[in-house]
Structure formats: C-alpha cells, structure tokens
Amino acid sequence: MEGMESAGTCVDPKQKIDNACPESEEDIKQKAEQFKEEANKHFKEKNYEDAVCLYTQAIGVYPKSAVYYANRSFAHLRLENYGYALEDATRAIENDRKYIKAYYRRASAYMSLGKFKPALRDFEAVVKVKPKDKDAKLKYTECSKIVKQKAFERAIACNEYDKKPIADSINLDTISVESTYDGPKIPDAGITADFMKELIETFKNQKKLHKRYAYQILLEVKKIFFNLPSLVDVTLQKEEKLTVCGDIHGQYYDLCNIFDLNQLPSKENPYLFNGDFVDRGSWSVEVILVLFGFKVLYPEHFHLVRGNHETDNMNQMYGFEGEVKQKYGGNMMEFFSEVFNWLPLAYCVNGKVLIMHGGLCEEDGITLNDLRSIDRNRQPPESGTMCDLLWSDPQMQQGRGRSKRGVSCQFGPDITSKFLQDNGLDYVIRSHEVKHEGYEEQHNGKLITIFSAPNYCDQMGNKGAFITLEAPHLKPKFTQFQAVKHPEIQPMAYANSVMRMPGMF
C-alpha cells in the first residue's frame, strides 16, 4: 500500500514542532512517513479505524501528500464511510492531479453512493492517462454499461404508484413442483416449525427451496407487512424476553449459529432482526427466506425492520439482485423489492426502547407519531425522516454533523437525549455499523449499536453480538460470538462486476 482533517474518525493531533529547533521539510516528511508506515501495518491487519487515525496524523504533519489522503480514503471505504472516502480522494487529487490511485478511490466512493456518472468520469480520467491499462479500460467499460442501463430504466419506468403489484400476478397453482424435487414442502395448512427446521438444514447443505414455496413465503409475508404501521409497538409482559439482532448481510451460517446459541424462534423465544439482512454475503437468499418464513410462522413474535440494504440501489450493487437472479430469476427480484417496501421502519418496546436500523433524524421535533405516519411503500428518498431512520449514524460531538457515508447526517449525545426526553423513551437500539466487539454503548449509555455479522465480509475480524431484553426493566444483556466456518464461496460473489474488481475496495 501507499496513504481529511475533517474526514477522520479520530481527532487530528497535528504534531507540534519544537519552535526552539525548527525542523526541515525533509524531517517533517520523514516523521509523516513513519505515521504512514505504521498506518499501513494496521490496514494490513484489518484495523481500519486505527489506520484512519494514523493516516490522519501523517496528514497533520504533512498535508501536501496525495498518498496519505488516498490511503485514508481506502481505509474509509473498508469502513463504509463513503462520504469521507469521497472527500479524501478529492483532496488527494487536488494535491496531485496525476495520482491515478486517487481517481480509483473516488470512483469507488461514487459507485458505493450510487453516483455512477461521476464515477464514470473518474474512470475516464484514468483511461486517458493510461490508455493501455487493461484493468482501467475494463472498469470504465463496466461503469459505462451501468450508466446506460440506468438511463434506459429511467426512460421506461412508469410511476411506481400506478404499477400493478407483482403479488397480484402470481398464481401458485400454475407453478408445478417436479416429482424429482426432494426438498422441504409447505404443508396445505401453512408453514410449520418442522418445515422451518427442514428449510434451515436444506440451506445448510447448499440446496434450494423450490420456487413455488419461495413465492408462497413472499406472498404470505407481504400480507403481514402490509397490515403493519411504519412504527410497530411491541409489549413484553413481566419476565418475557426479546432477542435483538443487528446486520446479518447474507452470512447464513452465522445466522444459524445465532439460533444454535439462543435457540430457534418460537412464541416463547421471540426475535427482532434490525435490518440489512441481505447483500455482501453470498447466502442472502437463504437468510431472507428463513427470516421471512419465521415471520409467517410467528407473526406476533418474530419482527423485522427495514435496513438501508433492503433497497433497489443497494441490491443492484452489493449482490442480492445478482444472487436472486442466479438462484430464482429476475421476476422474483421484483417481488422481493415489492415486499421490502412494506417492511416496518422502527419498533418500540413497551413504550421505552426505540429500535431502528440507522438512527435519529436531521430535523428536530420528530415524534413517535411522526414515525408511525410515514408512507413507507417506496424506495427511500435521499433525505427526510425515512432516509434518516435507514442511514444516519451517531457521533461523539454535540449537535449534528455531515454524514461520513454521504447520506443523511450524524447526531450527537445531546440530540439523542432531547429525542428520548421528548418521546418518553429510555434508550435507542440501532445497527448499521460494524463494531469490533459486536456492539457499542454510546451517548451516555442511551444509544446502543448492535451488529450480528461476525468477521464481516470475511475481512473485518469483528465479533458478532445480540441483545436480550427482559421485561419489565429492559436492561440490555449482550451475547458475543465469533464467526463460524462456511463453504468456500467468497463475499460479494454475486455483486455488480465493477464492485468485485481488484483495486476498488
């Protein structure tokens, strides 16, 4: 490897130079290089947050280097801080317009944010400088295809409110089950606990559920979601408990491990999964069908919240769409999109604990009734309350700040405290961010992040965790776990071809 003041996740220390003995520029560069080399070591060890801090120190000592900004941009990409990555890459280009890696980094950030036209411009800039570079030409060509595809989709798109629901066109009786099919079958009376156990084992053995039963699960779960408000209230009686899990991201075998550690869902063992069930991991289809199956089986005791990856743009880039098309075909992907639009956006437990995927809102004065009244049956807008619930993140500083992801905002402990006070809540649970220990308590213990995909993308080295809440006190109890072995299929196996190319992340 080679290497924002405002874009780092740590405070820029800017090393003080002894005024009594001024250092030469070469001495300053050497000191900065030491920070960079140490940062590179942390990056290779997958300690990306520490790497960001050390690159920040290098920049503080010598801010003229394009390499330091580009390296920090790369670390932010790994942390999914796409807004910061974009800013860093831009600063690198401003420092050295001939530094090609900075254009790659900025293109990666643009792609991750779904901004394909500016990504294409950066790839074009690389090709102009290195016209014989096969890798650069391939990235440019693939990105160009995406831009053209998006333009075509916009040209033929009809108003989504006028579009006939996919569910209305599905007739299960016309989907025959071949006599050679030996997988699980949904009984005439509907999904049972035995069916779910068989389904889990079938997927563990890397076998498919017949598309007839996959469609049946989607039809049934859509009916359930359709009748739920955007904010769902859940009541736990004394000594009843609820297990809250964070992001799963297609890591099916780690999902099974959660059920091994905490037992399968049941009326006596309810669960809530807090968004980002799919994408990145290569068993997203298996994850979502199991989760939807349990929702159908236990509609009052198994809960699902929409995440920012239950959306079309994310699914097109990060693998779920490609995986569904590979395993079941394109029509089913349209149906998944339709069902995702009806997922609730938040849950409130006993009127005291609010749970959403992202976080609090950019606007002051938002109430629980505001959340209940959100018209959620759509792709999320680029701003506003629905966007914030899916995308926002906490920060250590007071007030609000710009988003490190380039979407929504960041909010401080004062924002959390005021929101809880105004709405009579005790604390907030959210997900959306990798945490090394699988969870983190912030904002004076009033905000908890839970993340349930250990060794995220087979590269982060983090633990996973889940929370147990027991009434009446609802004091969070954390259970941590490590990643388990899975078949030799890499993460992002079904992602957009540009996202899988070397040098992108």
The predicted-structure confidence for 317-333, as pLDDT tens digits, reads as follows 899 999 999 999 878 99
- Rounded Cα–Cα distance for residues 287 and 324 (Å): 12
Share of the chain above pLDDT 90, in %: 83
Predicted local confidence at residue 389, as pLDDT:
98
Which alpha helices (H) appear in 263-384, and where do they start and end? 284-297, 312-318, 320-327, 330-340, 368-372
pLDDT band at 109 (very low <50, low <70, confident <90, very high): very high
Average pLDDT, the chain: 92
Task: Please report, as a single letter, which amino acid is at residue 261.
Answer: L
How many Cα neighbours within 13 Å face the side chain of 24? 3
Does residue 371 register a pLDDT over 70?
Answer: yes
Between helix 66-78 and helix 82-95 the angle, nearest 10°, is 170
Q: Which is higher by pLDDT, 443 or 331? A: 443
Does residue 407 register a pLDDT over 60?
Answer: yes
- Rounded Cα–Cα distance for residues 314 and 306 (Å): 13
Q: What is the pTM of this model?
A: 0.91
Q: In what order do the strands lie in the sheet with 409-411?
A: 393-394, 409-411, 400-402
Does residue 156 register a pLDDT over 50?
Answer: yes
Which residues, 6+ apart, have CB-to-CB distance to 385 below 8 Å?
A: 361, 363, 366, 370, 371, 374
- Rounded Cα–Cα distance for residues 264 and 106 (Å): 43
Predicted local confidence at residue 411, as pLDDT:
98
Q: Specify the DSSP class assigned to residue 269.
A: B
Which residues, 6+ apart, have CB-to-CB distance to 3 below 8 Å?
A: 36, 39, 40, 55, 58, 65, 67, 68, 69, 70, 71, 72
Does residue 102 register a pLDDT over 70?
Answer: yes
Predicted local confidence at residue 3, as pLDDT:
44
Predicted local confidence at residue 162, as pLDDT:
65
Does residue 298 register a pLDDT over 50?
Answer: yes
Domains defined along the chain, listed by start: 5-113 (1.25.40.10), 241-500 (3.60.21.10)
Whats the size of the chain, residue-wise?
505
User: How much is the average pLDDT of 40-65?
Assistant: 95
How far is residue 281 from each of residues 220, 229, 340, 494, measured CA to CA in Å?
25, 29, 18, 9
Would you please indicate which residues are annotated as catalytic (active-site) residues?
Answer: 309
Predicted local confidence at residue 6, as pLDDT:
47
Name the token pair of 385: 């309350």
Strand partners, 430: 449
pLDDT band at 161 (very low <50, low <70, confident <90, very high): low
User: How much is the average pLDDT of 135-157?
Assistant: 84
User: How much is the average pLDDT of 31-35?
Assistant: 96
How far is residue 109 from each of residues 6, 112, 362, 419, measured CA to CA in Å?
17, 5, 23, 32
Name the token pair of 313: 């743009």
